[in-house]
Chains A and B, each alone.
Chain A
Amino acid sequence: MQNRNTLFIGKVLLNYASLESTNASALELLSKSNPSEGTVISAYEQTIGRGQIGSSWESEAGKNLTLSLILYPKFIPVRHQFILNQAIALGVRDTVAAFVDSEVTVKWPNDIYIRGHKTAGILIQNQLLGSNLQACVVGIGLNVNQKIFSPALSNPTSLLLNVTSTLLDLGSVQEELFIQLEQRYLQLRGGQEAKIQGEYLQYMYRYGTLADYERADGTRFRGTIAGLTETGKLLVRHEHGTEAFEIKGIKFLA
């Protein structure tokens, strides 16, 4: 099935019944050939889905979208790559927002939340060439029709748990995803970085609201997310000033 409503994303769509990891397959495809930009590898079932290094992404077969998109963002300098994260996260957020009425946010750096529950995750793997990005594999796991999740996951949800219908058409969600991702990627390529950065903050989970956090050393504090540094670190304002955090340096407390 090809996507008819986009210029390049999903025009080449490789569907597999079962893959260990769509990202690994996309990287392998890149190493052996020159897939066209926008090529998507999708799996009905992903057996060894990956989150961050050392963590996994679980998905029930046939119920969710587990796919990887190949891009060539050669115009992005390596040091400025967080903008790619922001553009992709917004594209996935827009997709989820098109199906549910509830508040949909981006939890820094790139998880998608419906009312504080995680519905999608993103894993981006880049190949570098000198100081610019060369090729990029964007892995997206989007919970669509799954209703029951492993108790090991802290706060999962799916689209279906947030709509009134009994089943969502995976193909329609996928088509919407391709359209929204393409729109954001074209904005990025068109130099509209300020727009992307602005909307990222606009839709950022807990932006501007007082909440509780924990540092890597275990100390807890109340603070307000105030923005991001140039490289994407999280700025949190608290009673002693503003502090910048790396991903593993801060935990969001309930």
Chain B
Amino acid sequence: MTLKEIQELIKLLNKSDLTEFKMKDGDFELSIRTKHYEKTRIQAISTASAQPMMPISSIATPFVPPAAPSSPSPAATQDLPASSSAPAEQSDTEDTSKYLQIKSPMVGTFYRSSSPEKPPYAKVGDRIEKNSVVCIIEAMKLFNEVESEIGGKIVKVMVEDAQPVEYDQVLFLVDPKG
């Protein structure tokens, strides 16, 4: 992407109501947040499940390769399809298909720790066991400790603290061999 193209993109984003734009193309990653971002973030916290995350898939390449199975499972975690059939061109980017996902069992607000002063339950690089608490999802003043149904190493936290999450939204990527 050239500088001119990025400038054009910023102009376009400023005219839109988008809060955030992310794209990834090979080694190239771009993330732009507009002036609406902070405002919407605060509103999003206050209205939790009423507002799903701003859809960005219509214009941006999804950051995570679409590897989730089509049928949603009620369980909090799901296995990704085996990576054996993954196309070869994925090898130059981060191969996320070998990771397992921890998904949100409910609509609510995602919290990484039990209170702002406390350290997060799980951060990148942490080893978690089966039944480890990894986060809290709050809905209507009910605070739900979400336990992992898998063991492994946290490789990515997919949601920021105090953000609204949807049912089945991916919260963490876990490397089962980590």
Q: Which residues of A contact B (CB under 8 A)?
A: 27, 50, 52-54, 78-79, 81-82, 84-85, 109-110, 122-131, 216-217, 231-233, 244-249
Name B45's contact: one of A128, A130, A248 (CB within 8 Å).
Answer: A248
Known A-B contacts A85-B141, A126-B144, A126-B145; A78 and B106 likewise in contact (beta carbons under 8 Å): yes
Say yes or no: B142 contacts A129, CB within 8 Å. no
Name A248's contact: one of B47, B75, B136 (CB within 8 Å).
Answer: B47
Known A-B contacts A53-B115, A246-B47, A248-B45; A231 and B144 likewise in contact (beta carbons under 8 Å): no
A27 and B47 alpha carbons, distance in the complex (Å): 28
Name A123's contact: one of B47, B143, B147 (CB within 8 Å).
Answer: B143
6 example contacts (A-B, Cβ-Cβ < 8 A) are as follows: A54-B115, A79-B106, A125-B142, A127-B133, A216-B43, A233-B140
When distances are taken between beta carbons in the complex, the residues of chain A under 8 Å from B68 are: none
For B144, the closest partner residue in chain A by CB is A126
A125 and B145 alpha carbons, distance in the complex (Å): 7
A85 and B140 alpha carbons, distance in the complex (Å): 9
A244 and B86 alpha carbons, distance in the complex (Å): 44
Looking at the assembled complex, report how far the CB atom of A147 sits from the nearest CB atom of chain B, in whole angstroms.
Answer: 27
Task: Indicate whether B165 reaches chain A with its CB closer than 8 angstroms.
Answer: no
Q: Which residues of B contact A (CB under 8 A)?
A: 42-43, 45-50, 74-76, 105-107, 111, 114-116, 133, 136, 138-147, 149, 167
Say yes or no: A53 contacts B143, CB within 8 Å. yes
Say yes or no: A128 contacts B147, CB within 8 Å. yes
Name A53's contact: one of B46, B50, B138, B140 (CB within 8 Å).
Answer: B138
Known A-B contacts A85-B141, A128-B146, A249-B46; A50 and B75 likewise in contact (beta carbons under 8 Å): no
Which secondary structure dominates where chain A touches chain B?
mixed
Known A-B contacts A53-B143, A81-B142, A124-B143; A216 and B47 likewise in contact (beta carbons under 8 Å): yes
Which secondary structure dominates where chain B touches chain A?
mixed
When distances are taken between beta carbons in the complex, the residues of chain B under 8 Å from A131 are: 74-75, 105
Say yes or no: A128 contacts B141, CB within 8 Å. no
When distances are taken between beta carbons in the complex, the residues of chain A under 8 Å from B49 are: 231, 246
Known A-B contacts A78-B144, A126-B145, A217-B43; A246 and B105 likewise in contact (beta carbons under 8 Å): no
A244 and B50 alpha carbons, distance in the complex (Å): 9
Say yes or no: B74 contacts A130, CB within 8 Å. yes
Known A-B contacts A53-B116, A231-B49, A244-B50; A128 and B145 likewise in contact (beta carbons under 8 Å): yes
Name B105's contact: one of A54, A78, A232, A233 (CB within 8 Å).
Answer: A78
Say yes or no: A248 contacts B46, CB within 8 Å. yes
When distances are taken between beta carbons in the complex, the residues of chain B under 8 Å from A126 are: 142-145
Say yes or no: B115 contacts A84, CB within 8 Å. no
Name B115's contact: one of A50, A85, A246 (CB within 8 Å).
Answer: A50
Say yes or no: B142 contacts A82, CB within 8 Å. yes
When distances are taken between beta carbons in the complex, the residues of chain A under 8 Å from B142 are: 81-82, 84-85, 124-126
A194 and B80 alpha carbons, distance in the complex (Å): 40
Say yes or no: A130 contacts B105, CB within 8 Å. yes
Q: Beyond the given A125-B143, A216-B46, A216-B47, could you list 4 further A-B residue pairs with CB under 8 A, ordered by the A residue number?
A: A81-B142, A85-B140, A128-B146, A131-B74
A231 and B108 alpha carbons, distance in the complex (Å): 10
A209 and B50 alpha carbons, distance in the complex (Å): 25
A4 and B38 alpha carbons, distance in the complex (Å): 54
A27 and B145 alpha carbons, distance in the complex (Å): 10
Most central of B50, B105, B139, B142 by chain A CB within 10 Å: B142
Name B144's contact: one of A123, A128, A217 (CB within 8 Å).
Answer: A128
Most central of B105, B116, B140 by chain A CB within 10 Å: B140
A124 and B137 alpha carbons, distance in the complex (Å): 12
When distances are taken between beta carbons in the complex, the residues of chain B under 8 Å from A82 are: 139-140, 142
For B106, the closest partner residue in chain A by CB is A78
A125 and B115 alpha carbons, distance in the complex (Å): 13
When distances are taken between beta carbons in the complex, the residues of chain B under 8 Å from A110 are: 141
A81 and B107 alpha carbons, distance in the complex (Å): 11
Looking at the assembled complex, report how far the CB atom of A91 sits from the nearest CB atom of chain B, in whole angstroms.
Answer: 16
